């Protein structure tokens, strides 16, 4: 496998252990900047708690057209409470200090406004592995190619069930680290069952780009679904279900209570390690 990058090595390590990698997403700034850093550290586990293999640090955005209601609610609250782009670098540093790699997931306008090379420089200085860019396609990413090469950062682009074969091939070639396969059309969010389109999308990717490592996001919310997804993908991506535990804690008047978050991470981590169906 070529172009593994830092985040790709997390996938490869899990694969060598005969399991799927677990990727956990949380937005910086919710329930507060400090609270979000604590939550991200909790994702990483400790002692005999394995935790996630890779953390996605989300950057709240004013027009989150691809995010479901759970992530939108948390992101809007974070913006209202004063989160800033620079806070993402503190979040990355907090995660990396635990020994777990971190990538940033962001709408491209935030990076462009900050300055592409400056953002790449500061992300690399914080120890970040790279970027997931859901609204940036490889053919529009010339500046990002230059900056990510200059600062040795991973590039994670997205494909979906509607992506053509030609686009899957070109996207895989553009990625460094792994590819993000979103197996549900539309916005993100928790779902009661895993997507029936995921196996077909993964089959196409394996046939067209067999070398690429693939993480799948499809609304996984528990360990059983994580086991099912790990049977077909190299990585299982969980976001809304994790954020939902933070929203529930704040609604209950306990915004700093990470008990439910840790319990869900334990369930998911056991799920990717369970015998595959």
CATH code assigned at 141: 3.20.20.70
Residue 66 lies in a domain: yes
The predicted structure's pLDDT at residue 184: 61
| Residue 63's pLDDT band (cuts 50, 70, 90) | confident
Out of 17, 48, 53, 56, which one is annotated catalytic? 56
Which tokens sit at 242?
């994790």
Containing domain of residue 135, as a range? 5-271
| Residue 187's pLDDT band (cuts 50, 70, 90) | very low
The predicted structure's pLDDT at residue 195: 53
| Residue 194's pLDDT band (cuts 50, 70, 90) | very low
CB 75 within 8 A of CB 61: yes
pLDDT at 3 over 90: no
**Whether residue 166 lies in the annotated active site:** no
Nearest CA-CA partner of 29 in 110, 86, 95 = 86
Q: How far apart are CA 130 and CA 226, in angstroms?
A: 24
| Residue 185's pLDDT band (cuts 50, 70, 90) | very low
Residue 259 lies in a domain: yes
Residue with tokens 């120890």: 127
**Whether residue 93 lies in the annotated active site:** no
pLDDT at 186 over 60: no
CB 53 within 8 A of CB 21: yes
Out of 17, 38, 48, 67, which one is annotated catalytic? 67
Give the Cβ contact number of residue 178 at 10 Å. 34
pLDDT at 91 over 50: yes
The predicted structure's pLDDT at residue 192: 46
Angle, in degrees to the nearest 10, between helices 165-174 and 198-208: 70
Residue 276 lies in a domain: no
* C-alpha angle 11-168-123 in degrees, rounded to nearest 5: 50
Domain count for the chain, please give it.
1
User: pTM of the entire structure?
Assistant: 0.94
| Residue 189's pLDDT band (cuts 50, 70, 90) | very low
CA of 57: how far to CAs of 35, 60, 63, 192, in Å?
13, 10, 17, 24
CA of 15: how far to CAs of 22, 234, 252, in Å?
11, 7, 39
Residue 263 lies in a domain: yes
Nearest CA-CA partner of 117 in 151, 87, 85 = 151
């Amino acid at each position: 496998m070529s172009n593994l990058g830092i985040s790709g090595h997390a996938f490869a390590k899990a694969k060598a252990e005969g399991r799927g990698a677990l990727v956990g997403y949380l937005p910086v700034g919710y329930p507060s900047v400090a609270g979000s850093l604590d939550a991200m550290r909790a994702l990483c586990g400790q002692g005999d708690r394995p935790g996630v293999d890779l953390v996605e640090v989300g950057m709240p955005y004013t027009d989150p057209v691809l995010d479901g209601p759970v992530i939108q609610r948390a992101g809007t609250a974070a913006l209202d409470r004063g989160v800033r782009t620079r806070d993402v670098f503190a979040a990355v540093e907090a995660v990396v200090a635990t020994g777990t790699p971190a990538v940033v997931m962001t709408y491209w306008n935030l990076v462009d406004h900050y300055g592409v090379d400056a953002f790449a420089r500061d992300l690399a200085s914080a120890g970040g592995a790279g970027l997931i860019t859901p609204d940036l396609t490889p053919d529009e990413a010339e500046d990002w190619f230059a900056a990510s090469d200059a600062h040795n950062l991973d590039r994670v682009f997205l494909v979906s069930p509607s992506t053509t074969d030609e686009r899957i091939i070109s996207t895989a070639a553009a990625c460094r680290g792994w590819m993000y396969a979103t197996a549900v059309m539309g916005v993100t969010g928790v779902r009661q069952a895993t997507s029936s389109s995921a196996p077909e999308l993964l089959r196409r990717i394996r046939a067209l780009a067999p070398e690429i490592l693939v993480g799948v996001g499809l609304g996984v919310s528990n360990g059983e679904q994580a086991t099912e997804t790990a049977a077909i993908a190299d990585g299982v991506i969980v976001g809304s279900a994790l954020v939902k535990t933070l929203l529930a804690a704040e609604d209950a008047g306990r915004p700093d209570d990470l008990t439910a978050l840790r319990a869900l991470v334990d369930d998911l981590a056991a799920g990717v390690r369970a015998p595959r169906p």
